Amino acid sequence: MAHETETPAVGSADAVANQINDRLAILARATRQLLERAKAGEPVDAKALRRALRELEDAPWAEALRAEAAAVLDGLPEDAQGAGPAGDGDRTEDAGRDPDVEDGTILRRIEALPDQPDPDAVAAIVEDLAAIVSLRGEVPYAAAMKALAGKLGISRSQVRKEVLDAARRHRAAQDAAAAAVGQGGPTLVADILRDQVPPDMPPGLILPKPYALSARRPPGREDGPPDWETVAELPDFTKPVLPAVILPVARRHDPDADAWELTLAVRRNGTWKTVEAERSILADSRKILQLADQDVPVTSETAREVIHYLATMEQANLHALPEGVAVRSLGWRALGDGRRCFVLGRRTLTDDPPGAESGQPPITVRPPGAGERRLLEGFTEGGSLEGWRDGLYHRILPYPRIRIGLYASLAAPLIARIGGGGFTVHYSGLTSTGKTTAMQAAASAWGRVNT
């Protein structure tokens, strides 16, 4: 599903905007809980509801929620304008606050527990911790779980298990609610982006619920193509996921590491680019921040949401994503299915019989670092065999020490074929005696000698 909204002329930085959206999302959920309690006839904290109304004023997606909260406030008796029910004041007081451990809310509630706490009070703390952990992960809340374990006199691992089990239930409930948003099935990405799809996108790529793409038109570009952002359409509001479009367009297997990676098409500021990332990076809220160096707008605040989005996209599109093989180093490489290929720069030469390449998974060369990428660029074709033979080979024939370097260079691809061992040719001597020239002659058979 696509939306189109106007981008304000003055906006916050991405990280600040995401923090605000996360805060409002948590606040909306807490407000919904208060309203459900009010409908059930339970006493609620009017101060918390009023605070929620004030803070949700600037959230257009919360208009219905604000109206419902206002109606509940109008129906409360005058003596309900103070704190909530005894023993529950802290919980409702915090409903309109960002539940961050640095704010001390959870920790203060744990410290306030008596030596023999009421099981319901402990359960409420565990549920609130779980709701936060399901959104932001457990790392920032380890201190709170440790404090609760100390208060109860049990192991930290036992508390952690209870919190994570409850967090999984929260996440499942959120996913189920999100999946119920809207009618019909998933949307074809091509139907949303139309003539703005990335060139390498598979035709059947879908956008599963609850995710959608929202068009934004920055000031000064009202008549041009829109920018897009990824959002999650939840029951009570639309939550931004990231201010860009990231689409998985291929899956590749690295037989050397026995690991999988995704090829991502990233659209930001009106331009598509390709990013390759190991799945171990895309599944870790800390490692995924490495993609920020490649201009992928992921922050520590949005990492978990982006991970969940990418995992959902990949799972929903396994039927459409083409699969291939990724190799990372030069020379002969095993492809994991009994086949081999010889990596020559960006090119790969297989030992398949002629015509057998059709129907085989495509092979992509993926060097592990910038230095290796620069080295690969040196393996290029140029000139002609006759020109190289007349211009270089015939001229070095009188110089056996230079010839042996060239012969060693040309022999390298044959070692695996004959079952031989590796070897090294080492040049040593005084400066300006031809060492560099000999190495350039050896490299000339493969590409640019200065690369």
| Structural contact between residues 309 and 230, judged by C-beta atoms closer than 8 angstroms | yes
Q: What is the 3-state secondary structure (H, E, C) of 115-159?
A: CCCCHHHHHHHHHHHHHHHHHHCCHHHHHHHHHHHHHHCCCHHHH
3-class state of residue 198 by DSSP: coil
> Over the Cα atoms of the chain, what is R_g?
30
Reported as half-sphere exposure (CB side, CA atoms, 13 A), residue 7 has a value of 20
Q: In terms of Cα–Cα distance, which of 436, 444, 450 is closest to 401?
A: 436
Helix or strand holding residue 192 (H, E): helix 189-193
Contacts with 219 (C-beta within 8 Å, 6 or more apart), sequence order: 7, 9
Per-residue pLDDT of the chain (451 residues; tens, 9 = 90+): 444 443 333 333 344 344 445 556 666 777 777 777 777 777 766 766 776 676 666 566 677 777 787 777 777 665 444 333 333 333 333 333 333 333 356 788 888 888 888 888 888 888 877 777 765 566 667 788 888 888 888 888 888 888 888 877 766 655 554 444 444 456 888 888 888 889 888 888 999 888 989 887 766 666 667 788 898 887 777 888 989 999 999 988 888 778 889 999 999 888 899 998 898 999 999 999 999 999 999 999 899 999 999 999 998 888 888 888 887 778 777 776 677 778 777 777 776 665 545 456 677 777 776 777 777 777 888 888 899 898 899 998 999 899 998 999 888 888 888 888 888 888 888 888 888 888 888 888 888 877 6
Q: How far apart are CA 124 and CA 202, in angstroms?
A: 47
Q: How far apart are CA 310 and CA 244, in angstroms?
A: 13
- Total H helices, total E strands in the chain: 17, 14
3-class state of residue 448 by DSSP: coil
Sign of CA dihedral 298, 299, 300, 304: negative
Q: Using a cut of 0.75, tell me whether the model's pTM lies above it.
A: no
Q: How far apart are CA 422 and CA 431, in angstroms?
A: 28
